[in-house]
Amino acid sequence: MKTGDFASDSAEVRLALFDFAFDHAPIGIAIVDVEGRILRGNDAFSKLVGIPLQPLPGTPFADFTHPEDLQADLLLFREVLAGMRDGYTIEKRYVRPDGVVVDVLIHVAAIRDASGKVRFLSQIEDVTIHKEHERQLAEKAAQLELAMEAVPGGFWHMDVAAGKFETSHRLAQFIGGPDAAAFDLKRYLDKVNPEDAEAADLTPC
């Protein structure tokens, strides 16, 4: 076998491996040109954006990016084109043709050839479930805070595992006056009547 033939076979093998990994990746992968148009996407990406593979090439990513998230993405995209960075990671939302919104985490890397030509390789993860859990936790935390702030006299909270203690602002003001800030454990215990100090001991065992 000639050296040239071996090099050619190796290039073909590498290309075949890339195509296989690209097409069968469990996350979305897309190659984008300098105008922000999709050159190629895999099946996972097609499902994320809700556009079939065949008409996907030539579609600007702006077409399916949530309007509120587009400018932040374009700013980073243009910084890569200007040579200010080689890539970026951003969370944003896709809007499918049926109106369904998908939360995604995108990792973008610039691919520059010897002539300076640039292409963008994007890897896209669907984080919709994760973001929904975050929103639910934030809502519950806000509801709990409102409920606890409504308690006459305020409240205190202690995270035993983290060793963190804090009072609500209302309890701090109830104890120390209208300008008092939230108390840590030491300041709170300093306010306890010495006769009740033993019963009020919150020091972790």
- pLDDT, tens digit, 9 for 90 and up, residues 13-25: 888 888 888 888 9
Say whether 3 sits in a helix, a strand or coil: helix
Average pLDDT of the chain?
83
pLDDT digits (tens, 9 = 90+) for 137-164: 777 777 766 766 666 666 777 676 777 7
pLDDT band at 136 (very low <50, low <70, confident <90, very high): confident
82: number of CA atoms within 13 Å, CB side?
Answer: 7
Confidence category of residue 180, pLDDT binned at 50, 70, 90:
confident
Q: Where are the domains of the chain?
A: 3-128, 151-196
CATH code: domain 3-128 is 3.30.450.20
The 10s digit of each residue's pLDDT in 65-106 is 999 999 999 999 999 999 899 999 999 999 999 999 999 999
